[in-house]
Structure 1
Amino acid sequence: MAKRDPNGRLRTLLAEARWSGQDFARAVNGVAAEAGLTLSYDRTSVSHWLAGTKPPAHVVALAAEALSLRTRRRIAAADTGLARPSAAARTEGGQADAGPDFGVGALGEIPVYSSAWRPPQEPPQDPERAGVRTGRRGGARIGLDHVRAAEAVLPVFRNSDMMFGSGLARPALTAYLATTVAPWLRADAPPSVRHRLLGATSRLAYTAAFLCFDGNQHGVAQAYYRAALRLGREAGDPQCHAPVLRAMSVQAHHLGHRTQALELAQAAAREAGRLPTLQAAFVTGQLAVAEAACGDRRAAIAHLAGAQKLLERSEGQSAPIGDYHQAALCHQEAEALAALGDGPGAIAALGASLRHRPPAERRARAVTAARLAELHLGQGHLERACAAWHEVLDAVPQLESARVTDALRRMRGRLRAVRASGVVRPLLERVAAGT
Structure 2
Amino acid sequence: MPPSRRRNENLRALLAEARWTQAALARTVNALAAEIDLDLNYDRTAVAHWLSGTRPAPPVPELIAEALTRRLGRAVSPAAAGLAGEPSVSTGGRLPASDTPVGTALTELCSMENDPARRASARMMPYREAELAKVAAGTTERVPAPRVPRREPDAGGDLGVVRLAVQFYSASFDTHGGRRARSALAAYLADDIAPLLREQEGQEPHRALLVEASRLSFLLARMYQDASVHGLAQRHFSTALRLADESGDATARAVVLRGLSAQGLGLGHRRIALDAAEAAAATRAPDAPSRAFLLSQLAVAQAACGRNRAARESLGRAERALAKGGRGGGAEPFTAYSLGSLEFQSAEVLRYTGDLPAARVALANSLAHRSDRDHRGMALSYAQHAEILMGLGHVEEACASWNSFLDHYVHLRSGAADLAAGRLRQLLTPFRNLPVATAVLHRTFAVASPSPHS
Specify if TM > 0.5. yes
For residue 262 of structure 2, the aligned residue among 227, 232, 250 is 250
Corresponding residue number in structure 2 for 1:349: 362
Q: Is the Cα contact below 8 Å between 1:205 and 1:225 reproduced in 2?
A: yes
- Offset at residue 320 of structure 1 (A): 3.4
For residue 181 of structure 1, the aligned residue among 193, 196, 207 is 193
CA distance in 1, matches of 2:417, 2:196: 35
Encode CA deviations 1:384-408: one digit per residue, 9 max, x unaligned. Answer: 2111101111112222222112211
CA distance change for structure 1 residues 332 and 9 in 2, over 3 Å: closer, same or farther? same
1:210 aligns with 2:222: yes
What letter is aligned with 1:321?
F
Encode CA deviations 1:150-172: one digit per residue, 9 max, x unaligned. Answer: 11221112222222323332222
Q: How does 1:32-431 map to 2 (within 5 A)?
A: 32-37=33-38, 39-51=40-52, 59-67=60-68, 69=70, 71=71, 74-77=73-76, 81-83=80-82, 97=98, 100-101=106-107, 102-104=110-112, 105=119, 107=122, 111-117=126-132, 118-119=134-135, 120-121=138-139, 122=141, 145-271=157-283, 273-316=284-327, 320-321=333-334, 323-431=336-444
Paired-residue identity, %: 35
- Offset at residue 369 of structure 1 (A): 0.5
CA distance in 1, matches of 2:38, 2:227: 14
CA distance change for structure 1 residues 413 and 97 in 2, over 3 Å: closer, same or farther? farther
Q: Is the Cα contact below 8 Å between 1:13 and 1:67 reproduced in 2?
A: no
Q: Is the Cα contact below 8 Å between 1:282 and 1:307 reproduced in 2?
A: yes
CA distance in 2, matches of 1:397, 1:81: 47
- Offset at residue 196 of structure 1 (A): 2.0
- Offset at residue 100 of structure 1 (A): 4.6
CA distance in 2, matches of 1:39, 1:173: 30
CA distance change for structure 1 residues 109 and 82 in 2, over 3 Å: closer, same or farther? farther
- Offset at residue 202 of structure 1 (A): 0.9
What letter is aligned with 2:414?
S
CA distance change for structure 1 residues 191 and 144 in 2, over 3 Å: closer, same or farther? farther
Decide which moves more: 409-418 or 161-170: 161-170
CA distance change for structure 1 residues 280 and 430 in 2, over 3 Å: closer, same or farther? same
What letter is aligned with 1:298?
R
CA distance in 2, matches of 1:52, 1:163: 49
- Offset at residue 291 of structure 1 (A): 0.9
- How many pairs does the alignment contain? 407
What letter is aligned with 1:336?
V
CA distance in 1, matches of 2:16, 2:63: 18
CA distance in 1, matches of 2:196, 2:438: 55
1:6 aligns with 2:9: yes
CA distance change for structure 1 residues 86 and 398 in 2, over 3 Å: closer, same or farther? closer
Q: Is the Cα contact below 8 Å between 1:9 and 1:80 reproduced in 2?
A: no
> TM-score, normalized by length of structure 1?
0.83
Decide which moves more: 395-404 or 202-211: 395-404
Decide which moves more: 232-241 or 51-60: 51-60
- Offset at residue 36 of structure 1 (A): 4.4
What letter is aligned with 2:162?
A
CA distance in 2, matches of 1:143, 1:323: 19
Aligned-pair Cα RMSD in Å = 3.2
CA distance change for structure 1 residues 328 and 39 in 2, over 3 Å: closer, same or farther? same
Encode CA deviations 1:107-146: one digit per residue, 9 max, x unaligned. Answer: 599732422442143599xxxxxxxxxxxxxxxxx99832
- Offset at residue 193 of structure 1 (A): 2.5
CA distance in 1, matches of 2:124, 2:427: 36
Q: Is the Cα contact below 8 Å between 1:150 and 1:200 reproduced in 2?
A: yes
What letter is aligned with 1:44?
T
Decide which moves more: 312-321 or 174-183: 312-321
Question: Any unmatched runs of 5+ in structure 2?
Answer: 88-94, 100-104, 113-118, 144-153, 449-454
CA distance in 2, matches of 1:13, 1:344: 46
- Offset at residue 187 of structure 1 (A): 3.0
Q: Is the Cα contact below 8 Å between 1:123 and 1:233 reproduced in 2?
A: no
- Offset at residue 177 of structure 1 (A): 1.1
> TM-score, normalized by length of structure 2?
0.80
CA distance change for structure 1 residues 78 and 409 in 2, over 3 Å: closer, same or farther? closer
What letter is aligned with 1:310?
A
CA distance change for structure 1 residues 87 and 74 in 2, over 3 Å: closer, same or farther? farther
CA distance in 1, matches of 2:129, 2:235: 12
CA distance change for structure 1 residues 59 and 305 in 2, over 3 Å: closer, same or farther? same
- Offset at residue 286 of structure 1 (A): 0.3
- Offset at residue 253 of structure 1 (A): 1.5
Q: Is the Cα contact below 8 Å between 2:36 and 2:125 reproduced in 1?
A: no
CA distance change for structure 1 residues 59 and 116 in 2, over 3 Å: closer, same or farther? farther
CA distance in 1, matches of 2:58, 2:442: 47
Q: Is the Cα contact below 8 Å between 1:96 and 1:108 reproduced in 2?
A: no
CA distance change for structure 1 residues 77 and 353 in 2, over 3 Å: closer, same or farther? same
Corresponding residue number in structure 2 for 1:138: none
CA distance in 2, matches of 1:393, 1:5: 50
What letter is aligned with 1:327?
G
